[in-house]
Amino acid sequence: MFYLSHAGMMRRAQRRVKHGRFFGILSWPDMGARAAADRGPRVHVTLIFNPSSGGQETQNRLAAIHAGCRELGVDYELLVISPERPTAWAVERVLKQPPERVWVCGGDGTVTAVGAALLNSGIPLAILPGGTANAIARSVGVPARMTEAVKFAAEGPPRPFDALRVNGRISLLTAGAGYDSAIIATADGDLKKRFGILAYIYAALKHLGSTEATMFEITVDGTPAEHCAGHCLLIANIGKLFGEIDLMPEALPDDGRMDIAVLTLGDLADLLSLSGHVLQGKQKQHPGSRFLTASKVEVKFGGPLRTEVDGDVAGITDHITAEALPGALSLVRSETAKRGLLPLWAPAAPKS
């Protein structure tokens, strides 16, 4: 462990993180923040930082986080994750010596991995937007500008937050099969790194009309099975697609339940029809869709389908079993996340 406090060493650390030459721990009690401490007790947090998320904005993200912490009088320990030192390594350190709060800066996959490891620990988690879609951050009311997000992470109240267990994996946002999983598989990797959110739009248009419909056999809370045909299955803890589109507005992250949707998206006409109903708040009246809610659900597919969990491809299977985990995570979030706090077209890594 070592200490940095002046701008020159800060820039050197940024360069080392950017180029993958920094592995380990930075403990950062900023001496320049002493004046801010007069406002109240200093906050001590651990920041888990993924430098590979969100494109080439690593230096800007670190600088903005550091500036926000300096202004607020926050001491932070920086744990930079990498293939050599993955999320599990960082979380193991956190659980051995729990800080007042854990902050995570990375994409939705990184946020979910950290959140999954902190379930039922009682350690508050706060999100700093550092990915491409930032869907979880958008959905829970994280501000778009990084300095404002840091303030929210330091001062916002932690609230109970549900999680889902989907085929043994933890989901904080949404899991799915079929059309949405095909989109994620296509957009992932180099395409997302080069084009950001546009990669998802390209993938959505590419697969529209090419994904075959299947029959879903859905058993909700042990009731008799219901059969629904569609192109896409979604199981949601939060019902906002990209954190903005209220596909399932009744899917609340603290109701102890999950919301399920089977959607017909065979062509552009289907997409436009569903979009029109969503914009009017009448999605449940859409003739090609079925919406359900459950604490436990088992879904059998008509054939093997690609699946995803929180924006990460989760393999090919012929079924999904999911259960809600009420209040399993303590998350810094808005009580009611408002539309537009992190706009869909905001940069993936705000610079200030």
Q: Which two tokens stand for residue 256?
A: 């102890």
Residue at 345 is within a domain: no
Residue at 18 is within a domain: yes
Distance CA(19)–CA(223), nearest Å, equals 54
pLDDT of 55? 59
> Do 106 and 121 fall into the same domain?
yes
> Do 219 and 241 fall into the same domain?
yes
pLDDT of 211? 80
Residue at 342 is within a domain: no
DSSP 218-260: EEETTPPPEEEEESEEEEESS-EETTTEESSTT--TTSS-EEE
CATH code, 262: 2.60.200.40
Which of 161, 195, 229 terminates a domain? The answer is: 161
Residue ranges of alpha helices (H) inside 255-296 are 268-279
> Do 175 and 313 fall into the same domain?
yes
> Do 323 and 249 fall into the same domain?
yes
pLDDT of 30? 46
Distance CA(152)–CA(199), nearest Å, equals 29
> Do 62 and 193 fall into the same domain?
no
Which of 121, 146, 161 terminates a domain? The answer is: 161
Residue at 235 is within a domain: yes
H/E segment holding residue 108? helix 108-117
Q: Which two tokens stand for residue 140?
A: 């829970």
Residue at 338 is within a domain: no
First to last CA, the chain: 27
> Do 140 and 250 fall into the same domain?
no
Q: How many other β-carbons are positioned within 10 Å of the β-carbon of residue 8?
A: 8
Distance CA(92)–CA(289), nearest Å, equals 43
Residues 6+ apart with CB under 8 A from 324: 162, 163, 164, 237, 256, 257, 258, 294, 295, 296
Residue at 172 is within a domain: yes
Residue at 351 is within a domain: no
Helix axes 108-117, 87-96, angle to 10 degrees: 40
> Do 104 and 202 fall into the same domain?
no
Domain count, the chain: 2
pLDDT by residue (tens digit) across 142-151?
998 898 999 9
Between 68-72, 146-150, 245-249, 330-334, the lowest mean confidence (pLDDT) is in 245-249
Nearest alpha carbon to residue 350 among 52, 65, 155: 65
> Do 140 and 55 fall into the same domain?
yes
251, 239 in Cβ contact below 8 A?
yes
Task: Say what percent of the chain tops pLDDT 70.
Answer: 81
pLDDT by residue (tens digit) across 174-216?
999 998 888 888 877 677 777 777 877 878 888 887 788 999 9
> Do 135 and 183 fall into the same domain?
no
> Do 258 and 134 fall into the same domain?
no
| Residue type present at position 255 | D
Residue at 226 is within a domain: yes
> Do 149 and 33 fall into the same domain?
yes
Q: Which two tokens stand for residue 231?
A: 């192109």
> Do 113 and 211 fall into the same domain?
no
DSSP 3: B
Burial class (CB in 10 A: 0-12, 13-18, 19+), 58: buried
- pLDDT band at residue 46, thresholds of 50, 70 and 90? very high
User: In which domain, by residue range, is 239 found?
Assistant: 166-327
SS3 for 29? Answer: coil
CATH code, 73: 3.40.50.10330
With 80 as the cut, is the pLDDT of residue 254 above it?
A: yes
146, 128 in Cβ contact below 8 A?
yes
With 70 as the cut, is the pLDDT of residue 5 above it?
A: no
